[in-house]
A and B are shown apart, each in its own frame.
Chain A
Amino acid sequence: GENVEQHPSTLSVQEGDSAVIKCTYSDSASNYFPWYKQELGKRPQLIIDIRSNVGEKKDQRIAVTLNKTAKHFSLHITETQPEDSAVYFCAASMGGNKLVFGAGTILRVKS
């Protein structure tokens, strides 16, 4: 089955700097790649997603890139702010069914 690896497990950046989180997936049939932000004790919140027919997608300070050949995708957050501090999860899906999640990245933005 699908396996998603996520790196790094923790990431500390200074406010205003950029943060990059990377994920790789194993099943080339996966075609949907969402990113979730989870604050302590809260539900995962979708922040951006990308489908396999697109190489890059941007929404204000957040962007996601996808390399289907290498089977990896990345989340880029620019001009980080303290409120960006949270756990970020990548996920992969094929056929619109279950999501397989990465292990998560704890992002700390220091002011």
Chain B
Amino acid sequence: EPEVTQTPSHQVTQMGQEVILRCVPISNHLYFYWYRQILGQKVEFLVSFYNNEISEKSEIFDDQFSVERPDGSNFTLKIRSTKLEDSAMYFCASSEWQRGYTFGSGTRLTVV
């Protein structure tokens, strides 16, 4: 079964540092997403990406965040200057139109 893969599985970074979280969506999917889940809380939408541009973003996705699809397979989330409250599990997901919505295994980001 096709999978969404994410790297790294765990990232520890110092406050103020930049981090890049990487994702390889399922190859025939056209829609890509980033979500985050603070420990013990619900999954929250950050951003969706289609046709090489952001299609929607949440209030959480401020100027410190950016996404990129640098080549035909990778999809990245960059946090420019991390804060303690950015500590969370970050999930990448991809889908076809309203089907096949699949989450990656996540990157646990710890900001110290």
Partner-B contacts on A (CB < 8 A) = 31-32, 34, 36, 42-46, 51, 89, 91, 93, 96-104
Q: B102 on the interface (CB 8 Å rule)?
A: yes
Query: B42 near A43 (CB under 8 angstroms)?
Result: no
Query: B42 near A42 (CB under 8 angstroms)?
Result: no
In-complex Cβ contact of B105 among A36, A42, A89, A103 (8 A): A42
Interface of B: prevailing SS: strand
A-contacting 9-mer, from B14-22, B66-74, B93-101: B93-101
Range of interface residues on B (Cβ < 8 Å): 20 to 34
Query: A99 near B45 (CB under 8 angstroms)?
Result: yes
Contacts of A99 in B (CB 8 A): 33, 35, 43, 45, 101
Residue from A43, A100, A103 with most neighbouring chain B CB atoms (10 Å): A43
Using an 8 Å CB-CB cutoff, how does the interface string of B74-109 with A read, 1 for contact, 0 for none?
Answer: 000000000000000001000101100111111000
Query: B56 near A43 (CB under 8 angstroms)?
Result: no
In-complex Cβ contact of B55 among A89, A97, A101 (8 A): A97
CA distance A74 to B30 in the complex (A): 29
Using an 8 Å CB-CB cutoff, how does the interface string of B34-71 with A read, 1 for contact, 0 for none?
Answer: 01000001111100100000011010000000000000
Contacts of A42 in B (CB 8 A): 105-106
Query: B103 near A97 (CB under 8 angstroms)?
Result: no
Query: A102 near B98 (CB under 8 angstroms)?
Result: no
Query: B91 near A100 (CB under 8 angstroms)?
Result: no
Contacts of B101 in A (CB 8 A): 34, 46, 99
Query: B103 near A44 (CB under 8 angstroms)?
Result: yes
Contacts of B45 in A (CB 8 A): 98-101
Q: Return A64 CB to nearest CB of chain B, in Å.
A: 15
